[in-house]
Amino acid sequence: MKKKKIVIALGGNALLRGNQAGTIEEQEQNTYDTLMNIIPFIKEGHEVILSHGNGPQVGNILMRNDAGEIMYKIPQMPLDICVADSQGGIGYMIERVLRNIFIEEGIEKDIVTLVSQVAVDKNDSAFQNPTKPVGKIYDKETADKLVADKKWIFKPTPKKVGGWRRVVPSPEPLDIFNIKTIESITDAGAVVIASGGGGIPVYIDENKKVRPTEAVIDKDKASALLAAKIKADEFYILTDVPYVYINFNEPNQQKLDFLNRKDALRYTAEGKFGEGNMAPKIRACLNFIENGGNKSVITEATKLTDKSYGTKITMEYED
């Protein structure tokens, strides 16, 4: 069997389910259940690089920011530091849980977690139109005060939820720091965890210095960029459904086992995938195959190595 280089993006639900309180015990069990599914790839000798989401976790960090300032006058940390905090904490948890799985499975392999910075364009149009919700939901009075005090931007949540939530820009990822190091560590046989939560968004100023931004990068886009940069063979996005569907949850929904670039572009343009759900994942997969990748797969974590599941996205249909 030909050895492959595989990038696997763990969705936020792979670490913390929406109906859970978020205790470390819950997150560790979810992580264990998810990571058990990558073991067949490891045993087959493939090189595996992991990335992960951080939506629930960084949201909790922001709420701790709020509580610390209100109760104890602790200065709030900016969003880039909160993303870095989540990268370190989640990366540590994934690394430790995976080490214990390796012990159980008799696998001897190093695991390396990298806190990753991802470059964006400071003039990206996303900075003029923030859309990414972060942190807690506020009432209108509190939101107005935060707008006045901190210059934050708020948008109303859906009516069934109620309230106002801070939104931040979500610029396009352009480059990932330390790509050569990620490649060399992977080539040396280690599992690398990188680009967590989309990476810490930074930009390069006119003096070529690295500067932070108050933004959140889409995890799937950054993971696809990582996969393309290291010339991975395959790119997997793990989510909460085993297939991609068009017209999802509608009477005419249709499961897609295979999807080529032409049809993926057409369905996306026709709005067949939810913009707040599957469409960004489809675009990330397209970015990967358009930049040299062989195949992208969107599937549920427990179906990762079962080839009868998952939507396979390629330039053309597979035979």
Catalytic amino acids?
12-13, 132, 219, 281
Residue 19 phi, psi dihedral angles, 5° rounding: -95, 15
Yes or no: say if 138 and 165 are a contact pair by the CB < 8 Å rule.
Answer: yes
Q: Give, for 190, the enclosing helix (H) or strand (E).
A: none
Q: Among candidates 111, 118, 119, which has minimal Cα distance to 193?
A: 111
Residue with tokens 């909790």: 60
Number of Cβ atoms within 10 Å of the Cβ of 200: 27
Q: How far is CA 1 from CA 44, 137, 219, 304, in A?
A: 8, 50, 30, 18
Contact call for residues 88 and 196 (beta carbons, < 8 A): no
Q: Are 116 and 199 in contact (CB under 8 A)?
A: yes
**Beta carbons of 284 and 218 less than 8 angstroms apart:** yes
170 HSE (CA, 13 A, CB side): 16
Rounded Cα distance, 3 and 127, in Å: 41
Question: With DSSP H G I counted as helix, E B as strand and the rest as coil, what are the percentages for the chain, rounded to 5?
Answer: 40, 20, 35
Residue 5: strand pairing partners: 47
Token output for 182: 């990620």
- Please say whether the beta carbons of 191 and 166 come within 8 A: no
